[in-house]
């Protein structure tokens, strides 16, 4: 049986992982759809992305800014256009870090299997 201190530390680690800016950025359906579009189309500008969604371009721009601040997309300004693309390597690295944190914490805080 894990000590109360180990359990609290593990629980805090899990909570911090799940409360990351990554998950907060992906909690909005429009942002999930933007990620899907960027996966399917690759590098795209705001106009091309906004043309695929019912929201106004200014709303899409704000959602892309959230994804950018969370480190999920890269952006490049070329003339009057701003191009976005999913930052796959950064996303994989962040997910691997979260997974490693959860792997360390699960035996202490939420081993599962007890209730089925």
- pLDDT on residue 114: 58
- pLDDT on residue 2: 60
% helix, strand, coil for the chain, step of 5: 65, 10, 25
CB neighbour class for 53 (10 Å; exposed up to 12, middle 13-18, buried from 19) = middle
Chosen CATH of 4-104 out of 3.40.50.300, 2.60.200.30, 3.40.50.2000, 1.10.10.10:
1.10.10.10
- pLDDT on residue 100: 86
> How far is the C-alpha of 51 from the C-alpha of 83, rounded, in Å?
14
- pLDDT on residue 113: 65
Q: Give pLDDT < 70 ranges for the chain.
A: 1-2, 19, 113-116
> How far is the C-alpha of 17 from the C-alpha of 96, rounded, in Å?
11
- pLDDT on residue 61: 95
- pLDDT on residue 9: 80
- pLDDT on residue 55: 94
Sheet holding 81-86, edge to edge: 44-45, 81-86, 73-78
pLDDT in tens, 83-95: 999 999 999 998 8
Which residues, in sequence order, are CB contacts of 42 under 8 Å at separation 6+? 85
| SS3 assignment, position 71 | coil
- pLDDT on residue 58: 95
Among 79, 80, 63, 81, residue whose Cα is nearest residue 26: 63
């Amino acid at each position: 049986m894990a000590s109360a201190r180990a359990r609290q530390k593990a629980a805090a680690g899990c909570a911090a992982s799940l409360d990351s800016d990554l998950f907060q950025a992906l909690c909005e359906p429009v942002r999930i759809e933007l990620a899907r579009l960027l996966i399917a189309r690759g590098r795209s500008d705001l106009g091309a992305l906004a043309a695929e969604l019912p929201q106004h371009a200014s709303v899409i721009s704000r959602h892309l800014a959230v994804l950018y601040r969370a480190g999920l997309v890269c952006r490049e300004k070329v003339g009057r256009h701003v191009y976005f693309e999913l930052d796959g390597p950064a996303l994989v690295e962040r997910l691997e870090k979260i997974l490693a944190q959860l792997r360390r914490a699960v035996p202490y805080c939420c081993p599962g299997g007890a209730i089925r």
